[in-house]
Amino acid sequence: MKKMIFSAAAFGLVAVSSIALAPTTAEAIPAFARQTGAACLSCHFQTFPAINAFGRSFKKNSFTDVGDQALVEDDNMSIPAVLNATVVIRGNYTNTKTALGSAGVWSVPSETPILIAGRIGSNSGAFVEFANSMTGSVTVGNWQLVNSFDVGGFKVGVGAHNSSFGASAVMETSNVFGQHGGKLAGSDVSAVQASGFRANIIGVGAWAGNDMADVQFALVAPTGAQGTNVGIKLAKLVRAHVNLDLGGFDSMIGVGFVTGQAGKLVATPGPVAGAGVFNMNLQFVDFQAQGDIGDTSLGIYADIAQAKGKTTANAATNFFGGAAQAGKWDAWGLRAEVKPLHNIGFGVGLRSINSDPTGLAKTKTNRTHLAAFYEIYQNFELNLVYNNDKATLAGVSTTTKSTMLEFEALM
């Protein structure tokens, strides 16, 4: 697995020397659309939340770009004249089928988060999600603070986040996993996502990049909830990718790894996030290609990831690897998403996970993923997602099938 990871990384770094970036088209959340004056089909590929080249540029510019919207400006001050917000309404019906039978659950609405995002200064921006639970309580679900500057032909920035967007959320622009993982629950078949990379994690870091490549360094730690005291022990994250034109497709090859210990030392170490010190050991490679074949848009996404646990005096398990464990874990994922019409899209994917937490209990889990979406409007969709999971332990297989029908409206 290590040879696969670093061979792919080497290929990407060599290929960038001879290939240039190609932009594509797509959409954005209403808060950003109001600030920029751009239609939803400007920043995202196929459908929200996957982003294209223009969306990557907007994000690396710290969400500061404006269109015709008025600004309130003074010395050392430049903010939109109105607070740009988005209200999201989601609801779904989910049916889960196992050998014991099937069960259906209605959740309408499943959540109604409020997103406030955009410019807070000429070089600074933020994204804040207020999670509204069905019990009536409102909490900060995710937040990001980004600052960027022009240095020669590069964008250089610093940022912080406390979110479930992924450990690399300081500045992550891949659509393979995390915040931009795709409308069709595409991140459900991401190897990186399956590792636990998108758990609630706090991070602070710096990044630099241009149209050709980006690199970031961050310090990260798991957190059980917003505001959790994670102590001063932080693991190290390095993330880099190159942007390429492969046969007219806007493409990206990336690598990343997290290493070290993180958390707050308590009498009983982890595995509950925010309650102990963890080993954080993960390596991964990801790839994406987005473009058009005739009038049909096509996105291809793939990644491989590896996590290996170890036992120390302060941390008994590796945080990554699906569940707390001290053994080996590796996975790969592959998916394709196609949009043959302006308001209809389909997705198909495969994911395979090999887990051996103790060296004595090898488990293999394969997922088949099918999905479709229908856009009533650019900001109002119906989504259908089907996952078939087959787990094999000691020669015994079990199958779980889940089907979800969801609506999502963004105002």
Report pLDDT digits (tens) over 175-230: 999 888 866 778 889 999 999 888 888 999 999 999 899 999 999 998 866 666 67
The pLDDT tens digits of the residues spanning 14-54 come to 333 333 333 322 234 788 888 888 766 678 888 778 889 88
Return the closest-CA partner of residue 170 out of 204, 143, 121. Answer: 204
When pLDDT is averaged across residues 137-155 and rounded to a whole number, the result is 87
pTM of the shown model: 0.86
Cβ pair 318, 281 in contact under 8 A = yes
Give the angle subtended at the CA of 236 by the CAs of 234 and 237, to the nearest 5°: 130
* Cβ proximity of 298 and 338 under 8 Å: yes
Cβ proximity of 332 and 352 under 8 Å: yes
Single-letter code of the amino acid located at 231: G
The pLDDT value given to residue 96: 97
Q: Do residues 48 and 40 make contact, with C-beta atoms less than 8 angstroms apart? A: yes
Q: What is the pLDDT of residues 82-108, one digit of tens each?
A: 889 999 999 999 999 999 999 999 999
Structural domain boundaries of the chain?
2-410
Give, in words, the CATH class of 2-410: mainly beta
Residue with the two structure tokens 């707050």: 264
| Pairing of the two strands 124-132 and 235-246 | unpaired
What is the rounded distance in angstroms from the CA atom of residue 137 to the CA atom of residue 30?
24
Residue with tokens 């009983």: 268
- Residue 199 near residue 162, CB atoms below 8 Å: no
Structural contact between residues 86 and 29, judged by C-beta atoms closer than 8 angstroms: yes
Q: Are 225 and 240 in contact (CB under 8 A)?
A: no
Rg (CA), the chain: 21
Residues near 74 by Cβ (< 8 Å), separated by ≥ 6? none
Q: Would you say residue 317 has pLDDT above 80? A: no
Helix, strand, coil percentages (3-state) for the chain, rounded to 5, are 10, 55, 35
- pLDDT at res. 130: 86
Q: Does residue 409 contact residue 89 with C-beta atoms inside 8 Å? A: yes
Residue 149 has pLDDT above 90, yes or no: yes
DSSP letter assigned to residue 197: I
278: pLDDT confidence band, cut at 50, 70 and 90? confident
